[in-house]
Amino acid sequence: MKSRAGLILAVGAYAWWGGLPLYLSRLTPTGAVEVIAHRIVWSLVVCLGVVVATHRWRELRNVLSSLRLVGTLAISGALLTANWLVFVYSIESGQLVDGALGYFINPLVTVALAVMFMHERLRVAQWVAIGVAASAVIVISVAYGRFPWIAVALSLTWGLYGYIEKRVGRGVSAVTALSVETLLMAPLALGLMGLFASAGRQTFVGLGAAHTWLMVGVGGVTVVPLLLFNGAARRLPLSILGLTQYLCPVMQFLVAVAVLHEPMAPARWAGFAIVWVALAILSWDGLRAARANPRPAPIAPTPRPRRSAGRQR
C-alpha cells in the first residue's frame, strides 16, 4: 500500500512537471525574465504558507541561522533560477524540444558530475551510456549547425543543483529549502519587477484578470509538484523513483511536438534516438545493480534531490 501510494505521488509529480509547459505557454506575451521574477515571488508566498500550515517555523529559523546552509542554498537558488529562466525561454522561443532533450540528458550529466565532484567509480555500462549521450549532442550540433545550448544548460544547471542540494542534507525539508532559496532570490525578483513597472513594460496588470491570476498561479504550480514528489521520495526506492522521472521529459517532448507543433527534422529524431539508447543502457544497469545489492543504487537524479538525488522547474 505504501509503495502504491508512493508510485501515485511520483507519477502525479512528474506528470505535473511534464505538463507545465502548457501552463507557462499561456503566459504570453510576458517575457521569460518577468515570468521568473513572479515565479520566485509567488513561490515564496506559497512556501511560507506551507511552512505556517505544517508548523515548520523552527526548521526555517534554524536554517536561516546557519551561515553555511544559507550560503549553500544561495548557490542552489541561483542555479534553480537559471534553470527556470532557460526552461521558460525554451517555451517562449519555440524550442521546448531542446528543453525536453535537456531533461533526458540530465541523468547522464548527473552521473558525470558524480565522477567529477564525488569521485565515484562508474561501471562500464555507465561509461558507455555517457559516451552514447555525448555522441547524440555531436549529431544534433552537426546536423543543425549550432550547439544545443538550451539542452546542455538545463541539464548542467539541474545536475549542479542536485549536487548542491545533496550537500544540504536530509535534515532540511524540501519546502523549507525552497522557502530559503526563493527568499534569497526575492530581492532580485522584486527589483526586476520594479524595473519592468518603471519602464512601463510590466504585464502583470493590464492584460485582464485571467492573465494576472495565471501569473499569481505560477507559485502554486511550482510548489504543488514538489510536495507530491516529497511524499513519493519517502515511500519509493530510488530504483523505482529514478525510472518514473522519465515521464516528465517524455510529456514535455509530446507537448512540444503534438501540441505546440515544433518541427522535428530527421537529424533531430536521430539525436533523440541515440539519447534514448543511452538512457536504456543506464536504466538497465541501474536495475541490475539494484537487484544485486539490497541497498538500491540510484539510476539517476530526481527533480528534487533533497531526499534522493536530483525538481524542475
Cα 311 to its chain centre, rounded Å, is 4
User: pLDDT tens-digit profile of 234-247?
Assistant: 777 766 766 788 88
C-alpha distances (whole Å) from 266 to each of 96, 148, 233, 263 are: 17, 16, 37, 10
User: What is the phi/psi pair of residue 118, to 5°?
Assistant: -110, 0
CA distance 14 to 20: 10
pLDDT in tens, 46-55: 999 999 998 8
Answer left, alpha or beta for residue 73, where phi above 0 means left and psi between -120 and 50 means alpha.
alpha
pLDDT at residue number 83: 93
d(CA 95, CA 193): 25
Q: pLDDT band at 179, cuts 50/70/90?
A: very high
Provide the 3-class DSSP secondary structure of residue 148: coil
Q: What's the rounded Cα separation, in Å, for the pair 54 and 41?
A: 20
Rounded to 5 degrees, what angle do the CA atoms 16, 291, 232 make?
Answer: 25
- The C-alpha atoms of residue 85 and residue 79 are separated, in whole angstroms, by 10
Instruction: Over range 259-271, report the average pLDDT.
Output: 85
Instruction: Report residue 25 CA to chain centroid gap.
Output: 17
